A and B are shown apart, each in its own frame.
Chain A
Amino acid sequence: MLSATVAIVVLAAAVPLARWALIDAVWTGTADDCRAATGACWAFVAHKLGFIVFGLYPPAERWRAAVALTVLAGLIVSTALPRFWRRRTLTGWAVGLTMGFWLMHGGLGLARVPTRLWGGLPITLMLTTLALALGFPLGVLLALGRRSRLPVPRTLATTFVEVVRGVPLIAVLYVAALVIPFAMPRGLEIDKLFLAQCAIVVFASAYLAEAVRSGLQIVPRRQYDAARALGLSAWQVHRLVILPQALRVVVPSFVSIAVGFFQDTSLVVIIALFDLLNTARFAAQDPAWLGFHAEAYVFVGLIYFAGSTLMSQYGLWVERYLRAGPAGAQASRQGRIRNDNT
């Protein structure tokens, strides 16, 4: 009975939605064709696709942004696979990032494209990836600093983490965009995209630091003492004994931080950078195609949704993998191993 009522309510919402999005939608044509129809105007998204995905990047050079995007996506996907969890992957990242930067920026035979023309999905992905990749080592250092017995690193790390976590990301972005230029030597103009990236790295490092610290808390102090008694140096103890255990525990919080930052990079809109969300908003403001906000936002919404969902699912898988190894991850997915917590 209840199920039937719910089904009716769901249908009452889903049918008009399906009519708008699929049945009555306009897939090709002009703005006038869309205005004549009652459904969604996907023709608008198709027409603006290049701009939404690549922003103001010169259309003739968009292939470069596309290749850079593919390289970055390839690096992310391969790093997610356990078979690439080795030192050589770092070299891959160094090579890939250098190549991506060269493709985007130009020089050495390619036309220069200033960063104010960069935009769309490459920017969103770059801001997210570098925030996590650079924020992570910083976060580990901050977490270790905060737990240190020495007063100076402890105070510095604690102050930094608490201040950054206490303010909204917008405040950090404003400080980066409005205050930092004041504090630079005369004549030195710093790239706005670079400043935004630094702000997001700083912000991410504070949140990652708290996650790492909660992981460090589960490793008993006596393990530290035991490892020191075996003659390991303080760094060796952390690298070989403490961190491997601590980092394993905090994988779930890393994943939710990663998803959060993937979404929060959209705040660079505030300082007028063209990330994926801002290109969509800008596209919807074109006077020739007025009135198709919903289509633009649904389209980029789907990209964000797909990215976030993939990350969350990967997080669940990697958690099982780390707990039980390759065979265990397979088995528990098939339901043969039951977990007490779930």
Chain B
Amino acid sequence: MRRRSVAAQGIALGVTAIIVWWLARNTTATLDQHGISLGFGFLRQPANFEIGDAPIAYSPADSFVRAILVGLANTARVSVLGWVFAVLLGFVLGVLRLAPNSAVRGVARTVVELVRNVPLLLLLFFLIAAMHALPPTRAALELLPGVFISDRGLVLPSVDLRAWSIDRPHLVGFNFVGGLTISPELTALLAGLVLHHAAHISEVVRGAVIAVSQRQRDAASALGMSRAQVMRFVVIPQALRAMVPLLATNCVSLTKNSSLAVAIGFPDFVSILNTTANQTGHAIETMLIMIVVYLTLSLGVAGAMNAYNRRLLRPGA
């Protein structure tokens, strides 16, 4: 028995090795034929392409490394904003879906079902088309006082930290002066990601709240707690613990989904790597960078969640 399993494993290992060797041999042959050599040296060359939306200083004369860092910064920016708003909206929707009023529940449920049952990419295409169909800046719509939306994007009031004042944007000629401008692509991407993941998070929230047993609520009510107190002191603390791993999974998947930016023209990490691969022909190296970065993120979060679960399971925690 033991000898047989050792032999079988040896064969499996051998077959895997042969496949890998075959792929590697073909790759070297193809690379030779195209005159490309493997290596990351090309990253130091100037990128020579424009990036529309750069949160850190960048010009086309900068290296590919710099361009990729811009992409990474954009992905980080979308992720962090996306996590915050998706979790907030997800909580609101999740709580509304448990509201005592059936009309409120119905509306929340309709929103969640609508979003959950269409592809995220469709939502993004729809939103970017809607952004481009908005009126031009001089006829921008004022959503809230100081918040404008036009085909050039979203303009928000910004806080000037040095003067401790709020900088409200105003229209001068054809453009806005002051405030913070968010490009149409970033607006559509964020709105789509937040809606999609909030719908999924609302299910997590709802599930976690329902999972707290009715007996505990009854016991808490019997102690004289109000509905709000039961929620605040009994249900939410327990539900939160059950939610954390699922919320983390959702946040990681939001970051992975932010790679759909490439389809609507927002220069995120994946989109810049794709441009780099097309311009230099170094597809293998760029894909390797992509895989390593995403794996680091996913495995890092998975490790943190395992540690969190161990801590919860520890007696006295």
Contacts and interface: CB of A to CB of B under 8 A. Distances in A.
| A is bound by B | yes
Interface of A: 2-3, 6-7, 9-10, 150-153, 156, 162-163, 165-168, 170-171, 174-175, 178-179, 181-186, 259, 263-264, 266-267, 269-270, 277, 281, 284, 291, 293-294, 297, 300-301, 304-305, 308-309, 312
A7 B104 CA distance: 9
Nearest to A181: B30
Contacts of A3: 101-103
Interface of B: 5, 8-10, 12-13, 16, 23-24, 26-27, 29-31, 33, 101-104, 107, 113-114, 116-122, 125-126, 129-130, 133, 256-257, 259-260, 262-263, 270, 274, 277, 283-284, 287, 290-291, 294-295, 297-299
Contact of A179 (B107, B260, B287): B287
Contacts, number: 141
Nearest to A5: B103
B16 A284 contact: no
Contact of A167 (B23, B104, B113, B295): B295
A266 B122 contact: yes
Contacts of A168: 256-257, 259, 270, 294
A2 B107 CA distance: 13
B104 A165 contact: no
Contacts of A269: 121, 263
B106 to A, nearest CB: 8
A175 B118 contact: no
A65 B107 CA distance: 39
Contact of A308 (B102, B118, B274): B118
A178 B26 contact: no
A114 B12 CA distance: 37
Main secondary structure on A side of the interface with B? helix
A281 B129 CA distance: 10
A297 B129 contact: yes
Output the residue of A3, A6, A153, A259 with the most chain B CB within 10 A: A6
Nearest to A267: B121
A174 B129 contact: no
B5 A150 contact: yes
Report the 8 A-B pairs with minimum CB-CB distance, sorted nearest first. Answer: A293-B129, A166-B298, A263-B119, A152-B9, A308-B117, A168-B256, A6-B103, A178-B283
Nearest to A9: B107
A259 B119 CA distance: 10
Contacts of A10: 103, 107
A290 to B, nearest CB: 10
A171 to B, nearest CB: 5
A184 B26 contact: yes
A266 B120 CA distance: 9
A183 B29 CA distance: 9
A167 B16 CA distance: 22
Given A171-B290, A178-B287, A304 B30 contact: no
A270 B103 contact: no
Contacts of B5: 150
A3 B23 CA distance: 64
A183 to B, nearest CB: 4
A150 B9 contact: yes
A329 B114 CA distance: 27
B122 A297 contact: yes
Given A171-B294, A263-B118, A284-B129, A179 B284 contact: yes
Output the residue of B116, B122, B129, B274 with the most chain A CB within 10 A: B122
Contacts of A264: 119
A182 B259 CA distance: 24
9 contacts: A6-B104, A6-B107, A162-B295, A166-B297, A170-B260, A178-B277, A263-B119, A291-B133, A308-B117
B119 A304 contact: yes
Nearest to A188: B26
Given A152-B9, A152-B12, A166-B298, A171 B31 contact: no
Contacts of B24: 183
Given A2-B101, A165-B298, A179-B287, A186 B30 contact: yes
A267 B260 contact: yes
